[in-house]
Structure 1
């Protein structure tokens, strides 16, 4: 019988993928996405400062179907990242650290960010 050497460090063959791991990755990705979305906000502000023609062009771009999808994603990214930060703040007080509580907070972060984003867009975009 041959003995396989043990890995030197833990990796995906050792760990099983969990919702808390996924939310950790998504939290980092939303942080990066927030930079890109903030650049879009700066572009809109610069167009507004430049005059009505550039503002109308940017509004046309953001009002297109692809622009709306990007802005919706940016909104979700902001809300999800904020709620992830609150979750980490709660963990700083050593609350919600039990196994079931960690998973519940991760799922709550995902569900709440989606619902809050839909609420924001319903009130400020789709109804207005």
Structure 2
């Protein structure tokens, strides 16, 4: 019986570097998961702010001071971006559920549309609010 040839290949597609080049579809999937989890944390911050408002003026002043300060502005801006990104990625998935846009080129274009659209909608949200 002949001996089987061992093929040298990466064990996992998540090995970044020379073995694997990240693609828009994998990047988009990872960022969608991250934004979903981050939105949960942002919701907790919002609930904390509401509870502080219902508790006492001192508690509200503390929470409001944090959420309207520089750190709060950064967190809320990233929250707005995460919300728009997650929303647009969800619309993209609904589109994919119809069986359209599954070709590699279309999937990459949709990924870039989600990234660019989320940034533009975040900027528009900041301008309006």
3-state SS in 2 of match to 1:17:
coil
1:86 to 65, 83, 91: 91
| Aligned length in residues | 122
Comparing both chains, which one has the higher relative contact order based on Cα–Cα distances under 8 Å and sequence gaps of 6 or more? 1
3-state SS of paired residue (2:86): helix
Residue matched to 1:63: 68
Mapping of residues 110-121 of structure 1, within 5 Å: 110-121=115-126
The 4+ residue runs of structure 1 with deviation greater than 3 A are 6-10, 12-16
Structure 1 residue 4 displacement after superposition: 4.3
Ranges in structure 2 where 5+ consecutive residues have no aligned partner? none
Computed over aligned residues only, the root mean square deviation of the Cα atoms, in angstroms, reads 1.9
| Separation in structure 2 between the aligned mates of residue 15 and residue 34 of structure 1, nearest angstrom | 29
- Please list, as runs of the form range in 1=range in 2, the aligned pairs for 1:1-128 lying within 5 A after superposition: 4-7=6-9, 10-11=12-13, 12=15, 15-124=20-129
What TM-score do the two structures reach when normalised by structure 2?
0.85
User: How many angstroms does 1:58 deviate by?
Assistant: 1.1
User: Which TM-score applies when normalising by structure 1?
Assistant: 0.85
Deviations 1:68-118 (A, max 9, x none): 101111111111111111111110001111221101100000000111111
- The CA distance in 2 between the partners of 1:5 and 1:96, in whole Å, is 34
CA distance 1:55–1:97, change in 2 (3 Å): same
- Matched residue SS, 1:119: helix
Task: Please list every run of 5 or more consecutive structure 1 residues that lacks an aligned counterpart in the other structure.
Answer: none
Partner Cα separation in structure 2 for residue 4 and residue 96 of structure 1: 37
